Amino acid sequence: MTSQSYRYLIVGAGLAGAAAAEGIRQVDQQGRILLVGAETDLPYDRPPLSKQLWTGGKTVAEIVLHDEMFYKTSAVDLRLGTKVAQIDAAAHTIRDSEGNVYGYERLLLATGGAPRRLSIPGGDLDGISYYRTLHDYRALRGAAGEGKSALVVGGGFIGSEMAASLRTNKLAVTMIFPSPWLVSRVFPESLGRYLTEQYRAKGVEVLDGDVPLSIRRDGGGYLTRTRAGREVRTDLVVAGIGITPNISLAESAGLSTGNGVIVNEFLQTSAPDIYAAGDIALFPAAGFGPRRMEHWDNAVSQGKHAGRNMAGAREPFTYIPFFFSDLFEFGYEAVGDIDSRLTTFADWQEENRTGVVYYLDGDRLRGAMMCNVWGKVDEARALIQKAQPVSAASLRGAIQ
């Protein structure tokens, strides 16, 4: 067992954790940093796992954020493949699963989330891919040969991206999800139904309004029975039904939690020397109220911001993150509150859904989704931040 002390200790070697190390170094070039992560891979970009790695847009080497030399020259000690078992907030120490103890002056929790699992008979069968990590990508890529078949459970962000990527790689793909159209929490009905039919036109069998009831082994593959009485035989099963924030460490340390780790505008938790960023942070978004975001831009921007504040910058986090996706030929960038329960106004070309979908709460613009329109996130963010009364007529042509 070892016992060492650091000025800065980051738990979670993902996007937010790596960005925090960069943020610290913008303010403090000297203080010792320890970056601890449960995965064995160097910190990497997560979005390509369900997009560019399957389409040929990027290689595994290209999604790694920094090589080992970066961390050495930045005086960041890496402890990969290491799980943190306990935080003692009073003593300012952590203990890993091997019993090693590390002291800190400032601590960041960037522990991300764990995939939700299917709570049905067979949901724990070996080989079902609860897709989340680079390790998961390698395993699925090795099994997903051309001509294989796959059932994708879930019609949200990950499910829709994985179904498109697997189909692009010439697998026979079936999707199953309980809602009447794809990504129903985000897409308004007209867009959601349009994209659902586009998936069918690409050869994806879409079982909307249905859920799996059981999964069992069937020869070398799987047999899934559904609520509607269907039997689906596939070589692979991929589940993308969301994540649960990894807040158990925060809870055991006595930090305030809810749907995430509660932080203030400086990304500090209820223990002022402990910060949180990324998927786990429940933060007070200006103009939106408390929210937690599970997207790339939030992890990067919030991680870097937390790092700067750990090093003494003391800057409130007021940035509105954006997110993006690619679904066959349809792609989008979105910013703000993108919730299909809000009133939506589509300023687009009806035949191909190219344009902007605005999300309104009364006469207040809450969010915007740019569909096959690129490089307009800053314009959309500025419109939202104006917080002025708007109407469909005033929004027409506002972003082009």
At residue 352, the pLDDT reads: 80
Please state the domain extents for the chain. 3-113+243-310, 117-239, 329-395
Which option is the CATH number for 3-113+243-310: 3.50.50.60, 3.10.620.30, 2.60.120.200, 3.30.9.10? 3.50.50.60
pLDDT (0 to 100) of residue 3: 78
Question: pLDDT digit string (tens) for 122-176?
Answer: 999 999 999 999 999 999 999 999 999 999 999 999 999 999 999 999 999 999 9
pLDDT on residue 310: 98
Question: Quick one: pLDDT band at residue 400, thresholds 50, 70, 90?
Answer: confident
Q: What is the pLDDT of residue 1?
A: 59
pLDDT of 2 above 70: no
Tell me what pLDDT residue 340 has.
Answer: 94
d(CA 321, CA 289): 14
pLDDT for the residue numbered 387:
84
- Confidence band for 272, pLDDT divided at 50, 70 and 90: very high
pTM to 2 decimals?
0.94
Record the tokens describing residue 18, joined without a space.
């790596």
The pLDDT, as a whole number, for residue 289 is 84
CATH number of 117-239: 3.50.50.60
Fold: same for 3-113+243-310 and 329-395: no
* pLDDT, tens only, 363-398: 999 999 999 999 999 999 999 999 889 988 899 988
The mean predicted confidence, pLDDT, of the chain is: 95
Q: Which amino acid is at 111?
A: T
Residue 279 has pLDDT above 80, yes or no: yes
Alpha-carbon distance of 79 to 93, in angstroms, equals: 16
pLDDT value of residue 350: 81
Q: What is the pLDDT of residue 287?
A: 77
Retrieve residue 176's tokens. Answer: 């199953």
Dump pLDDT digits (tens) for 305-360.
Answer: 999 999 999 999 999 999 999 999 999 999 999 999 999 999 998 878 899 999 99
Whole-number pLDDT of residue 376: 94
Q: Please state the rounded mean pLDDT for residues 181-206.
A: 96
CATH, range 329-395: 3.30.390.30
Of residues 237 and 3, the one with the higher pLDDT is 237
- Give the dihedral sign, CA 151/153/158/160: positive
- Dmax of the chain from CA atoms? 67
